[in-house]
Structure 1
Amino acid sequence: MRAAVYYGPNKVEIADVPEPSPGHGQVKVAVGFNGICGTDLHEYYAGPIFIPTEPHPLTGQQLPIVLGHEFSGTVAEVGTGVTGVAVGDRVAIEPLYRCGHCGPCRAGNYNICAQIGFHGLMSDGGMAEFTVVPRNMIHHLPDNVSLELGALVEPMSVAYHAATLGEPKSDDTAMVFGAGPIGIGLWFALRGKGLENVYVVEPSTTRRKSIEALGARTLDPTALDVPAYVADLTDGRGADAVYDAAGVQASVETALGCVGARKPMVSVAIYEKPLSTPLIDLVMNESRIQGSLCYTSADYDAVIALMAEGKYDTTGWVDKISLDGVIDDGFEALHAGTKMKVLVDPSVGGSGER
């Protein structure tokens, strides 16, 4: 079968690799769509970062790796001992490997497992025609949720988990910094939780227009004193929940200037450079920074339910490409900022024919 194989920085090849078969407790999935994640970009341009160069303790795999951890598909085969899954089922994959015995796992917080692994980073993943996953990664898709949306369940669950950690109430004012895929996901999640007063802060005109087309209210930090605007908007109280999905110093500083007393700024970004955090502002305001990592099955279930209700829309920010276009139409286009989110269809050939 054909797959996108990562060998190291700037080296991903579309290669023929053996088609996997499911073992005990495993499910073989014919991949429908696989999203290219910001983590994939970091690995391609600056890795290996998370991709192991020695056998991973949970998966036993190491470089080279078939990429892909944001994906959906159709069950092609079921291994022994698997129940509740049948050939032909349409599914989204929750790609986390967890040890089950560390402190976080025992407490039910397996998303911060001490040995956490990702299907498609620490094991061969979904940027291929077929992949094999453990039964506990399977989430069924309702009939009215497309495989395109199914491939977005993973990043949207990242955003939903972060939105939940901010503990927003329906009448709260929330701020989202960054209108990339996770920022868009935060807006969807907060709206799904019933919030009307959600503002997205984004300096890029292109990204602002994309999320405005979905119905969002945006603020341009290059043309507006955002903290002053929020103070005026809230009669000096500040925002009830602030989310950083941008991952740069300027966004963090501005976000912290918007946080209300004893309220959180939830960080759900990857920070490429060290940050200088004005802790005195946190002290004087009794506000806090809350980290957010991944998701749990509850977040997946919540996102899939909202998708079934029609709360998510791919219009204007999602593109689909073939496996042969992964480098030029995927990594390079995303890196250049000409596309926002790319879904790879492994069943489509270079000519666009199935």
Structure 2
Amino acid sequence: MPMDNWSDCKEILCIRTDNMGDLLMSTPAIRALKETFGCRITLLAASASADIASLTGLIDAVIVFNAPWNREDTDPAEIFSVLEEIRSRRFDAAVIFTVYSQNPLPAALFALMAGIPKRLAYCRENPYGLLTGWIPDQEPYTFIRHQVKRDLDLVASVGAVTSRQQLSLCAGPDSWKAARNKALRQGIRFEAPWMVVHTGVSEKKREYPTAEWVAAGRKIREELGLQLLFTGTAGECGHVRFLIREIGEGAFSLAGLLSLDELAALIGHAPLLLSVNTVTIHMAAALGTPVVVLYALTNPQHTPWKVSSRVLTFDVPPFLRSKNEVVRYVHQHHLSNISGRATPDDILQAVRDLLSP
């Protein structure tokens, strides 16, 4: 199917209604749209990811929508309210960003009902009139590419390209000053070697075992002498306090104390980030901070993009694995040959490698 001519599209709705990390991985594609068409970008985003939109430097407006195709707790009244708001803004086009295991058609129907004339997405089955720009989805059965490349290829199909393919995230000097002051009050000494550690996950299947976090933290302290500055949400404070108590001297907590822009500033100034596979690794990639990621074998296409990194994998327990048949296919055919779990010794060596001159 030939693609629409998008040269006159000046108001584009980007639909990315999942998590913050997913949105950051779409920022190179969003940059391509802005640079190519000189357009204004509005983001349709879940409440969980809307706050990071203002830090990308690319998004002009945000409509918050906890879409039922990505959430289980959507208020039916919200669906019609948001639909009318989108209709009133008279968008020229919509781009639906998805991972290969997501179905774009609910979002495509939503965009059609909102009167958006051009609608672009990957789709495995024939979308008929729901999409005007249909890219048959070959992932993951034919190949798997990085999520950033997937999104860039999507917008390239309508002529949108960029030479700057890095993730986009901005954190100002005031944010760093605030984050630094909060860390100083916790006792860290920035004149001595330090790194950021993030243990919290959005899904239990991505958790790295607590006992191994403790063992890794102790090894890093004892053998490399690094101060460990733990971050996390307010709900993760208890877990972080336990880790700090078990690791001992040289471990500090900023869990529950940082705003999102302060967290970005802290990661941007850190010599290194050690984290599970969550938004923090994509923040590090956007800000050029080296990262060691403890990577649960869920989505192989979400590794750190264009930044110095070490990816240490571990498997997901069978009872926590996704029921999505596409995800299960990937685990069976692409990930089943990866054995073993990242150990504290592996973590120590990865940290040492990335900090070596």
Settle same-fold status: TM greater than 0.5: no
Higher relative contact order (CA 8 A, sep 6+): 1
- Give the TM-score normalised by structure 2: 0.29
Which one has a larger percent helix, Structure 1 or Structure 2?
A: 2
- Give the TM-score normalised by structure 1: 0.30
